[in-house]
Amino acid sequence: MLITSRENQRWVIPKGWPTKGKSPQYSAAREAFEEAGVVGAVAKRSVGSFSYQKRLKGGAVVVCNVHVFPLEVRRQSKRWPEKQERVIKWLSASQAAEKVDEPMLGQIIRRLARKYDGRDSN
């Protein structure tokens, strides 16, 4: 699943700032709900990281390092905080990897797809 960024409508994964006093995986799951309405089991460990440039409201640009935590989606809510601000698209892993601009994120998506290909779906 990909979502559009608010600023320039690029296809991205849910991500955000860490929450002080909370684990990185907690923050990842919270952002996934706020940005895409998805709820599920988040991995305890990051499966990779990538960097991108984020433009802040004042115009400054900062480099953000993103640690990717997979989330096994159990359901998508009917309502969530940023529903009106983003577009959500459910895609195959290969389609998602092609749509994202960050090459490292594409590699992470492809690697995850290979890992979960053929796994028991029961």
Domain assignment of residue 102, yes or no: no
Q: What is the mean pLDDT of the segment spanning 100-106?
A: 95
113 belongs to a structural domain? no
Let me know if residue 21 belongs to a domain.
yes
pLDDT tens for 4-51 read 998 889 999 999 888 899 999 999 999 999 999 999 999 999 999 999
What CATH number should be reported for the domain holding residue 57?
3.90.79.10
- Residue 4 confidence (pLDDT): 97
Per-residue model confidence as pLDDT tens digits over 39-68: 999 999 999 999 998 888 898 999 999 999
Residue 56: per-residue pLDDT? 85
Q: Domain range holding 59?
A: 2-89
Answer yes or no: is pLDDT of 118 > 70.
no
**Do 38 and 73 form a contact (C-beta atoms < 8 A)?**
yes
pLDDT, position 88? 97
Q: Is residue 6 part of a domain?
A: yes
Distances in whole angstroms, Cα of residue 35 to Cα of each of 10, 16, 60, 113, 117: 14, 9, 23, 22, 27
DSSP string, 34-75: HHH-EEEEEPSS--EEEEEEEE-TTS-EEEEEEEE--EEEEE
Find the mean pLDDT for residues 88-113: 94
Of the pLDDT bands very low, low, confident and very high (cuts 50, 70, 90), residue 122 is very low
Counted domains in the chain: 1
Does residue 116 sit within a domain?
Answer: no
